[in-house]
C-alpha cells in the first residue's frame, strides 16, 4: 500500500496494491499497521456509514464544529469527484480546497482530518461511498457550506441531478468563515 500526502494539511490518500490473476483481483483496502505508521489510530474509528448516489448527485459540503471528526472515505462502487475544504482557522491551508477522484478501480481510502468540509459528486450511474468516522454524530455540531458558493468556486464536473434541501439551504463560505474565525 502506498500513502500519499494530500494538498491540504494532514490529508492522506491510502492507495492499495492490486493483485490480478485470471479470477480477477484482490486488494487490501485498509491496513491498520500502515495507518499507525502514518499517525492514525485505527481503533478510533467507531462508526461506519454508506451512501448511494445516482449520476450527478452532489452531497456537500459538510463538516463538524467543536473538535470536528476524522473520517476515512472510499468509493466501493462507481466513482465520485471528492472535494475537501480546509475549515481549520489555525491550519496553513485554511480556506483552500483539494479534489480527487475516488473509485472502485483504485480502491483508495481518503483520510480526512477533523475540521475539514467534505463533499462529493457521483460520476457514475450509482456510486456507493463508505465512511469510517471517529466519533458519534451530533447534529448540533453540523456545519454546511453551499456547494455552489462563489468564493469557493468549486468546479463540479457534471450538472447537478439531485441535491438535498439541507444542502441547498447551507450557508455561504464567507459567513461560516467569519464564525470560524470568531469575527462578527
Catalytic amino acids? 62, 131
- Measured CA distances, 2 to 22, 75, 102, 109, 167 (Å): 24, 17, 15, 11, 34
Distance CA 182, CA 184 (A): 7
Which residues are registered as beta bridge partners of 127?
53
Distance CA 169, CA 177 (A): 17
55: DSSP letter: T
Secondary structure of 117-143 in the HEC alphabet?
EEEEEECCCEEEEEEEECCCCCHHHEE
Q: Are 81 and 157 in contact (CB under 8 A)?
A: yes
* 122, three cell numbers: 457521483
Cα angle 118, 128, 8; round to 5: 25
Amino acid at each position: 500500500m502506498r500513502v500519499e500526502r494530500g494538498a491540504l494539511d494532514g490529508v492522506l490518500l491510502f492507495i492499495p496494491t492490486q493483485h490480478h490473476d485470471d479470477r480477477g483481483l484482490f486488494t487490501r483496502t485498509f491496513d491498520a499497521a500502515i495507518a499507525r505508521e502514518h499517525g492514525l489510530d485505527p481503533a478510533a474509528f467507531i462508526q461506519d456509514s454508506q451512501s448511494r448516489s445516482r449520476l450527478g448527485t452532489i452531497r456537500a459540503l459538510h463538516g463538524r464544529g467543536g473538535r470536528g471528526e476524522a473520517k476515512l472515505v472510499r468509493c466501493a462502487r462507481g466513482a465520485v469527484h471528492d472535494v475537501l475544504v480546509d475549515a481549520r482557522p489555525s491550519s496553513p491551508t485554511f480556506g483552500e480546497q483539494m479534489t480527487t477522484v475516488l473509485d472502485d478501480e483504485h480502491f483508495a481510502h481518503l483520510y480526512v482530518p477533523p475540521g475539514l468540509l467534505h463533499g462529493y459528486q457521483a460520476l457514475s450511474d450509482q456510486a456507493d461511498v463508505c465512511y469510517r468516522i471517529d466519533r458519534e454524530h451530533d447534529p448540533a455540531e453540523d456545519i454546511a457550506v453551499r456547494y455552489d458558493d462563489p468564493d469557493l468556486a468549486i468546479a463540479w464536473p457534471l450538472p447537478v441531478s439531485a441535491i438535498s434541501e439541507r444542502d441547498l439551504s447551507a450557508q455561504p463560505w464567507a459567513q461560516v468563515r467569519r464564525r470560524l474565525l470568531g469575527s462578527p
